[in-house]
């Protein structure tokens, strides 16, 4: 049996799996979210350091079309590997990371716009036909994130 590593500070499933890290398998919840959660818009409310980002990363890896070829690498030896749902690898996933948004009132709007720009930029790199080009992703063009999302949509 291969010895697993305890990894601190990594928040993506692929990083943990590539580093032979210990991963507590929460993939059983994917089936629950799809079939029994009672909502199409789940909200994960947990205290700091309780795995919200890792859960979002796991869902991103599971549903994103661009991750289809990585399915075995990311999910082998997990519950969902043997119980794959029809929705696996079937979406263009737009992932936002708001962990770097500043709470200072004078910087809140700009840092929030930057977080949205980063999410759309990452999406646009993976799916150029659906995203925005570099000129359209200039944060100074937008008063708020709503204007940016309107341009994107």
Predicted TM-score of the model (pTM): 0.82
Whether 7 and 79 map to the same domain: the answer is yes
Q: What are phi and psi of 101, to 5 degrees?
A: -70, 130
Q: Do 9 and 83 sit in the same domain of this protein? A: yes
Residue 88: both structure tokens together:
């696996």
Q: How many domains does the chain have?
A: 2
Q: Which domain holds residue 54?
A: 1-93
Top mean-pLDDT range of 25-29, 31-35, 45-49, 111-115:
111-115
Looking at the chain, the whole-number percentage of residues with pLDDT higher than 90 is 65
User: Would the pLDDT of 109 be above 70?
Assistant: yes
Residue 70's nearest CA partner among 87, 79, 58 is: 58
Please, are residues 35 and 76 in contact by the beta-carbon 8 Å criterion? no
């Amino acid at each position: 049996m291969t010895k697993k590593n305890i990894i601190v500070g990594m928040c993506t499933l692929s990083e943990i799996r590539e580093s032979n890290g210990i991963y507590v398998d929460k993939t059983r919840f994917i089936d629950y979210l799809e079939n029994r959660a009672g909502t199409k818009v789940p909200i994960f409310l947990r205290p700091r350091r309780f795995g919200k980002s890792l859960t979002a990363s796991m869902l991103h890896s599971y549903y994103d079309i661009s991750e289809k070829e990585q399915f075995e690498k990311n999910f082998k030896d997990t519950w969902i590997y043997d119980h794959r749902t029809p929705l696996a690898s079937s979406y263009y996933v737009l992932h936002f990371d708001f962990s770097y948004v500043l709470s200072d009132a004078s910087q809140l709007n700009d840092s929030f716009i930057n977080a949205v720009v980063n999410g759309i930029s990452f999406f646009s790199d993976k799916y150029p036909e659906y995203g925005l080009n570099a000129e359209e992703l200039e944060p100074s063009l937008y008063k708020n994130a709503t204007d940016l999302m309107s341009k994107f949509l």
